[in-house]
């Protein structure tokens, strides 16, 4: 890292934890979810050329933030709601707030987020489909996609429809489900239902599922409910939607993607997307990539789709870190 101004928020967090020392950093990480731990851990491992100026700058920024925005002495729930709403907007913050406030005392469901997808699939495959749908909605999209892919084929489309049409779960029911999960794993209530599931959740899960499986599921959903199928498709973020990412976002993505991945992923895509990619590369690199694409032999569609999904996975991680913004076909951001 050559300059403190080049550090993003994840890098700053990683640098702050390194400055705090091993014991304090471990105590902080214990209160984070698996995705946050993975992101911050990777950033901690990749930090290099750290100067005293950079450390001082990050610590100063942290102290100023705590001084100006600390919630000590005030209603912590209200503080969390206000902070996330100001940062993300009311629409995006709504479900995140419910997950934080309703899930902070959960044990069973939170443990699932640290488990292997196959272990979760084995755990829930005999549960009622509605319970499975709720559990999948509470997991991160990529983890839920892994679980869904491992469940019996005849369950998948039905579960996707249940996730897409899920409007909420009462806190009492959520607590009961959490207690049930905790028992299986170990051998003051709001009037509003928690905002989990829905079209966005279903589309987000599908984005992480292998192409032929997701197409088969969508065919079944379309046969059962054509309108619901269309709503899900409208919310899905696919490789072609990278055309909607701004130039700064494309440049950030290209820094994380290998040339071989890009060469494979660009087979057969729209010329407009290719030109957007080329336009955000150096002239020499773009010319070399053009030549390689023209000279490349035919490749299996499954290999192209796999490379595209790998790049989309990188894009989603960058979006989670706040480095790029992803737009969906419906015009909303996927975060």
How would DSSP label each residue in 183-232? Answer: HHH-----SSPB---SHHHHHHHHTTS-HHHHHHHHHHHHHH-HHHHHHH
Indicate if 111 and 202 belong to the same structural domain: yes
Q: What is the CATH number of the domain that holds 287?
A: 1.10.220.30
Count of Cβ atoms closer than 10 Å to residue 15 Cβ: 23
Tens digit of pLDDT per residue, the chain (335 long)? Answer: 445 556 778 888 888 888 777 777 787 777 777 777 778 888 888 777 777 777 777 777 776 665 555 444 445 556 656 665 665 566 555 555 555 554 444 566 677 777 788 888 888 888 888 888 888 888 888 888 889 988 988 889 999 999 998 877 777 777 777 777 777 766 533 334 445 668 877 887 887 777 678 888 888 898 988 888 888 877 777 788 888 888 998 999 999 888 888 999 998 788 889 999 999 999 999 999 999 888 888 888 888 888 888 888 888 778 777 788 765 433 343 33
Whether 269 is in a domain gets the answer: yes
State the Cα–Cα distance between residues 300 and 50, nearest whole angstrom: 44
Give the model's pLDDT for residue 278: 92
Indicate if 141 and 224 belong to the same structural domain: yes
State the Cα–Cα distance between residues 261 and 292, nearest whole angstrom: 12
Whether 88 is in a domain gets the answer: no
Give the model's pLDDT for residue 55: 76
Indicate if 175 and 290 belong to the same structural domain: no
Indicate if 192 and 276 belong to the same structural domain: no
Phi–psi pair at 194, nearest 5 degrees: -75, 140
Whether 331 is in a domain gets the answer: no
Indicate if 185 and 223 belong to the same structural domain: yes
Whether 81 is in a domain gets the answer: no
Indicate if 249 and 311 belong to the same structural domain: yes
Indicate if 142 and 222 belong to the same structural domain: yes
Indicate if 228 and 109 belong to the same structural domain: yes
**Among candidate residues 235, 256, 280, the one where a domain is terminated:** 235
Indicate if 139 and 210 belong to the same structural domain: yes
Kindly state the tokens that stand for 150.
């491992």
Indicate if 149 and 243 belong to the same structural domain: no
Cα first-last separation, the chain:
26
State the Cα–Cα distance between residues 165 and 66, nearest whole angstrom: 40
Residue 290: give the domain boundaries. Answer: 239-320
Q: Whose CA is closest to 158, among 183, 139, 121, 132?
A: 132
Whether 83 is in a domain gets the answer: no
Number of domains within the chain? 3
User: Is the sign of the CA dihedral 115, 132, 95, 181 positive or negative?
Assistant: negative
State the Cα–Cα distance between residues 120 and 310, nearest whole angstrom: 23
Q: Whose CA is closest to 240, among 280, 269, 200?
A: 269
Whether 91 is in a domain gets the answer: no
Q: Whose CA is closest to 120, among 143, 154, 153?
A: 143
Give the model's pLDDT for residue 72: 46
Length of the chain: 335
Q: What is the DSSP letter of 333?
A: B
């Amino acid at each position: 890292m050559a300059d403190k101004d080049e550090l993003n928020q994840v890098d700053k967090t990683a640098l702050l934890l390194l400055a705090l020392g091993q014991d304090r950093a471990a105590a902080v990480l214990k209160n984070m979810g698996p995705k946050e731990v993975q992101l911050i851990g990777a950033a901690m491992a990749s930090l290099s050329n750290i100067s005293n100026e950079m450390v001082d700058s990050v610590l100063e920024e942290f102290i100023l933030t705590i001084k100006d925005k600390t919630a000590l002495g005030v209603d912590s729930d209200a503080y969390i709601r206000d902070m996330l709403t100001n940062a993300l907007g009311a629409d995006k913050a709504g479900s995140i707030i419910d997950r934080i406030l309703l899930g902070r005392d959960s044990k069973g469901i939170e443990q699932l987020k640290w488990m292997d997808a196959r272990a979760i699939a084995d755990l829930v495959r005999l549960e009622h489909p509605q319970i499975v749908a709720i559990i999948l909605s509470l997991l991160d999209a990529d983890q839920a996609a892994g679980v869904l892919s491992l469940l019996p084929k005849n369950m998948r489309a039905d579960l996707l429809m249940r996730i897409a049409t899920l409007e909420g779960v009462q806190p009492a029911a959520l607590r009961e489900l959490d207690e049930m999960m905790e028992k299986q794993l170990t051998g003051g209530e709001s009037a509003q239902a928690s905002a989990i599931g829905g079209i966005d959740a279903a589309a987000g899960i599908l984005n992480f599922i292998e192409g032929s499986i997701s197409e088969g599921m969508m065919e079944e959903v379309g046969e059962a409910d054509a309108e619901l199928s269309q709503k899900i498709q409208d919310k899905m973020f696919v490789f072609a939607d990278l055309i909607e990412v701004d130039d700064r976002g494309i440049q950030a993505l290209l820094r994380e993607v290998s040339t071989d991945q890009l060469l494979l992923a660009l087979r057969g895509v729209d010329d407009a997307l290719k030109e957007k990619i080329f336009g955000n590369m150096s002239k020499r690199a773009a010319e070399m990539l053009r030549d390689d694409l023209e000279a490349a032999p035919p490749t299996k569609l499954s290999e192209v789709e796999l490379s595209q999904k790998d790049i989309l996975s990188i894009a989603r991680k960058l979006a989670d870190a706040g480095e790029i913004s992803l737009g969906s076909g419906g015009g909303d951001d996927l975060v």
